[in-house]
Amino acid sequence: NAGVTQTPKFQVLKTGQSMTLQCAQDMNHEYMSWYRQDPGMGLRLIHYSVGAGITDQGEVPNGYNVSRSTTEDFPLRLLSAAPSQTSVYFCASSYRDHEQFFGPGTRLTVL
């Protein structure tokens, strides 16, 4: 199993550009989520999904969209990037048994 994979590893955007961060898992996990981590801080939940076709907002959803068309994939879309979205983004998945598996992260800089 590859576990949770995220692409790209690094990305630099200009203000106003859009992009999609990719997240995939091969563990047949129902639950997937996106977090962001700003320097020196803990992770904050952006959006989450309890299964294909079902998504909901977390603590900091503004400026981000998600969709879940398959069990494996959970992309995060930035519609119009802002410098405040400069952060490290982590995707996670779990089945129902308490342990969440996190991906390696995407480091995003918005100029």
Which of 19, 27, 45, 60: binder of other proteins (CB under 8 A)?
Answer: 45
Nearest to 91 by CA among 52, 28, 47: 47
Residue 21 binds other proteins (CB under 8 A): no
| d(C-alpha 74, C-alpha 71), whole Å | 8
Q: Is 92 exposed, middle or buried, given 0-12, 13-18 or 19+ CB atoms closer than 10 A?
A: buried
Residue 58 binds other proteins (CB under 8 A): yes
For residues 26 and 59, which CB has a smaller minimum distance to other proteins in the complex? Answer: 59
* Residues lying near other proteins in the complex (CB under 8 A): 4, 31, 33, 35, 40-45, 48, 58-59, 88, 90, 92, 94-105
